[in-house]
């Protein structure tokens, strides 16, 4: 009886990022083509790996794959890319697509045992929420070693004999880490912002305005406060809940907007309108800041839920009240 | 500067009678929540836990319990709106903040 063997297939890659790779990362950060920024799952060879070379596991989100390989200059290694549907390691691990099952499948599909003599795979530590190391070993024979959180520590990790320091094992949320996540937050608000401007324009046409330049920059400012300023200043803003932090800065912004318009001294900027801004603008910032929990590295589901149970009703009531006041203000003037 | 989140909310529990002191949880925890004490892992600071579930998943002795979930308000809102479990799944056109 003839036993047909499956073809052994590897894909060559390098540690060098091209201009196109870098541009792709930049675009993804701005939300352009972020959901189609993929590489094919499979076994990649970097340098000239042999049967003793380490096997590094990654996700098929191109930014994950690129940030791994660019740290491997001068190394010979295998990169086993799992099919995570184009999602990064940490998020995919949370969903389970970067998981025990997919790792076992991928090891079997690429026939990893035919490429390496050892029985170890290095999985990024942030993949651990999806992987059960003892189960992988039980079903495949491969031992999972958790590598450092950051790919840039990989070389040192290997040099230390596959040992990570506590420093390498801890997730940080540096100013830069938060900063690179803000563009996508901002872009995410564009669609809803355009709808709001559309509604205000219609109200103007119906004679319920005038909504003008003050409303425009008041709103845009509140969005920037919630999406950019609050995330950047996060650890320095007093309090713990994200919505609170956003609200606080938004409140300061609302006061600034009112003062810039002569507070209540100027007749067109009445007390009702000023109060309306104080109710609406901080709520917008609070909501957007609350959404940044998803980009942070230290918020728990239970915590976010607790925060939202207070914040969401408060935000809705505050915005409704504010809108009523501003509309009432227009009617009084009519 | 350390980032701190809400206190006394994490669902993390350690059943120390099942712990063998293998240290796997110390290895996978991204927030340094555990500490090895008298050759058993103990919870050092529960408030640092973000409920990623890595420790429970990698405990071969089922000594750790935690309700695994995403700490993402956008995911929770989408979960409310669609009636599904919140997950880290920002689809292409819905914007959102995770990942």
Shared-domain flag, residues A21 and A134: yes
Predicted confidence band of residue A214 (pLDDT cuts 50, 70, 90): confident
Shared-domain flag, residues A183 and A275: yes
pLDDT of residue A48: 94
Pairing of strands A77-82, A55-59: parallel
For range B14-24, the mean pLDDT? 95
Shared-domain flag, residues A131 and A189: no
pLDDT of residue A210: 72
CB contact under 8 A, B97 and A242: no
**In which region does residue B62 sit, left (phi positive, over 0), alpha (psi from -120 to 50) or beta (all else)?**
left
Of A133, A189, A299, the CB nearest to B50: A299
Widest pairwise Cα distance in chain A: 96
The H or E element that residue B75 is part of is helix B73-82
Predicted confidence band of residue B86 (pLDDT cuts 50, 70, 90): confident
Residue A2 lies in a domain: no
CA–CA gap between residue B50 and residue A282 (Å, rounded): 27
Is the per-residue pLDDT at B91 higher than 80? no
From the list A216, A182, A210, the residue with the least C-alpha distance to A197 is: A216
Shared-domain flag, residues A165 and A180: no
pLDDT tens digits along A2-21 = 566 778 889 999 888 999 99
- Residue of chain A with shortest Cα separation from B86: A301
Rounded to a whole number of angstroms, the distance from the CA of B17 to the nearest CA of chain A is 20
Phi, psi of A120 (to 5 degrees): -130, 140
Is the per-residue pLDDT at A40 higher than 60? yes
Residue A1 lies in a domain: no
For range B37-45, the mean pLDDT? 93
Is the per-residue pLDDT at A25 higher than 80? yes
Interface test mutation site (partner A, options B3, B27, B62, max chain A beta carbons within 10 A): B3
Shared-domain flag, residues A80 and A205: no
Shared-domain flag, residues A42 and A138: yes
Q: Is B41 on the interface with A (CB under 8 A)?
A: no
Shared-domain flag, residues A80 and A101: yes
Shared-domain flag, residues A329 and A189: yes
Q: Strand runs (DSSP E) across B1-97, as ranges?
A: 13-14, 34-37, 40-43, 64-65
Residue A92 lies in a domain: yes
Predicted confidence band of residue A266 (pLDDT cuts 50, 70, 90): low
CA–CA gap between residue A189 and residue A187 (Å, rounded): 5
Report how many domains make up chain A: 2
Q: Chain-centre distance of CA A86, in angstroms? A: 14
Domain that holds residue A244: 176-333
CB contact under 8 A, A294 and B9: no
- For residue A260, the tally of other CB atoms under 10 A from its CB is 12
Q: How would you class A89 by CB atoms within 10 Å of its CB: exposed for 0-12, middle for 13-18, buried for 19 or more?
A: buried
Q: Is A242 on the interface with B (CB under 8 A)?
A: yes
pLDDT of residue A211: 78
Q: Chain-centre distance of CA A62, in angstroms? A: 15
Which residues in chain A have their CB less than 8 angstroms from residue B32's CB? 166, 169-170
Rounded to a whole number of angstroms, the distance from the CA of A261 to the nearest CA of chain B is 33
- Residue of chain A with shortest Cα separation from B98: A294
Residue A4 lies in a domain: no
* Stretch among A117-126, A212-221, B22-31, B35-44 having the lowest mean pLDDT: A212-221
The H or E element that residue B25 is part of is helix B24-28
Residue corresponding to tokens 């425009």: A216
CB contact under 8 A, A302 and B10: yes
Of B4, B77, B96, the CB nearest to A240: B4
Chain pair A-B, CB pairs under 8 angstroms: 168
Shared-domain flag, residues A194 and A307: yes
Is the per-residue pLDDT at A85 higher than 50? yes
Is the per-residue pLDDT at B95 higher than 50? no
Q: Establish whether the linkage from the previous residue to A210 is cis, with ω within 30° of 0.
A: yes
pLDDT of residue A125: 95
Shared-domain flag, residues A39 and A138: yes
Predicted confidence band of residue B97 (pLDDT cuts 50, 70, 90): very low
Sheet of strand A42-46: strand arrangement:
A11-13, A42-46, A77-82, A55-59, A120-124, A143-147
CB contact under 8 A, B96 and A294: yes
pLDDT tens digits along A238-262 = 999 999 999 999 999 999 999 888 7
B1-68 belongs to which CATH class?
alpha beta
pLDDT of residue A191: 86
- Residue that terminates a domain, selected from A154, A171, A188: A171
- Residue that terminates a domain, selected from A121, A137, A171: A171
Pairing of strands A11-13, A42-46: parallel
Residue A6 lies in a domain: no
Shared-domain flag, residues A166 and A294: no
- Residue that terminates a domain, selected from A118, A138, A171: A171
pLDDT tens digits along B61-71 = 999 999 998 88
Is the per-residue pLDDT at A105 higher than 70? yes
Residue A125 lies in a domain: yes
**In which region does residue B8 sit, left (phi positive, over 0), alpha (psi from -120 to 50) or beta (all else)?**
left
Q: Is B23 on the interface with A (CB under 8 A)?
A: no
pLDDT of residue A334: 55
Domain boundaries, chain B: 1-68, 69-99
Predicted confidence band of residue A267 (pLDDT cuts 50, 70, 90): low
For range B18-47, the mean pLDDT? 94
CA–CA gap between residue B28 and residue A310 (Å, rounded): 32
Read off the CATH number of the domain in which A148 is found: 3.40.50.11600
CB contact under 8 A, A94 and B6: no
CB contact under 8 A, A298 and B53: no
Residue A69 lies in a domain: yes
Q: How would you class A290 by CB atoms within 10 Å of its CB: exposed for 0-12, middle for 13-18, buried for 19 or more?
A: buried
Residue A299 and residue A242 in contact, taking contact as beta carbons nearer than 8 Å:
yes
pLDDT of residue B99: 41
Shared-domain flag, residues A213 and A327: yes
pLDDT of residue B98: 41
CA–CA gap between residue A216 and residue A277 (Å, rounded): 12
Q: What percent of chain B has pLDDT over 90?
A: 62
Mean pLDDT over the full length of chain A:
90
pLDDT of residue B23: 94
Of A88, A187, A236, the CB nearest to B99: A88
């Amino acid at each position: 009886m003839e036993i047909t063997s499956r073809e052994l297939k590897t894909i060559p890659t390098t540690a060098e990022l091209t201009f196109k790779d870098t541009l792709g990362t930049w675009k993804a950060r701005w939300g352009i083509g972020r959901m189609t920024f993929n590489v094919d799952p499979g076994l990649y060879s970097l340098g000239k790996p042999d049967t003793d070379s380490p096997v590094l596991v990654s996700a098929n989100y191109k930014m994950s794959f690129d940030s791994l390989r660019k740290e491997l200059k001068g190394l010979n290694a295998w990169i086993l890319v799992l099919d995570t549907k184009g999602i990064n390691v940490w998020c995919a691990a949370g969903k389970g697509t970067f998981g025990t099952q997919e790792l076992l499948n991928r090891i079997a599909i690429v026939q990893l045992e035919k490429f390496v003599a050892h029985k170890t795979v290095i999985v990024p530590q942030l993949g651990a929420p999806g992987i059960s190391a003892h189960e992988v070993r039980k079903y495949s024979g491969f031992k999972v070693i958790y590598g450092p959180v950051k790919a840039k520590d990989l070389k040192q990790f290997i040099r230390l004999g596959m040992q990570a320091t506590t420093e390498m094992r801890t997730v940080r949320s540096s100013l830069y880490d938060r900063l690179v996540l803000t563009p996508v937050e901002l872009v995410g608000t564009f669609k809803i912002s355009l709808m709001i401007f559309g509604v205000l324009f219609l109200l103007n046409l119906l004679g319920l305005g005038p909504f003008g330049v003050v409303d425009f920059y008041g709103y845009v400012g509140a969005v920037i406060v919630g999406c950019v300023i609050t995330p950047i200043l996060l650890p320095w803003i007093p309090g713990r809940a994200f919505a609170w932090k956003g609200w606080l800065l938004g409140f300061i912004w609302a006061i600034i907007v009112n003062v810039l318009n002569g507070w209540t001294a100027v007749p067109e900027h009445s007390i009702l309108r000023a109060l309306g801004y104080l109710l609406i603008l901080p709520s917008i910032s609070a909501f957007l800041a609350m959404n940044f929990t998803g980009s942070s590295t230290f918020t728990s589901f239970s915590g976010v839920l607790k925060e939202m149970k207070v914040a969401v009703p408060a935000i809705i009531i505050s915005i409704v009240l504010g809108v009523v006041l501003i509309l009432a203000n227009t009617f009084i003037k009519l | 500067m350390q980032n701190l989140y809400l206190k006394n909310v994490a669902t993390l529990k350690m059943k120390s009678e099942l712990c063998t002191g293998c240290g796997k949880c110390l290895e996978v925890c991204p927030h340094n929540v555990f500490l090895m004490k008298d050759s058993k892992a103990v919870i050092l600071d529960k408030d640092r836990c973000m409920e990623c579930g890595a420790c429970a998943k990698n405990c071969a002795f089922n000594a750790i319990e935690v309700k695994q979930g995403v700490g993402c308000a956008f995911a929770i809102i989408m979960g409310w709106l669609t009636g599904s479990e919140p997950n880290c799944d920002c689809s292409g056109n819905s914007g959102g903040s995770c990942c």
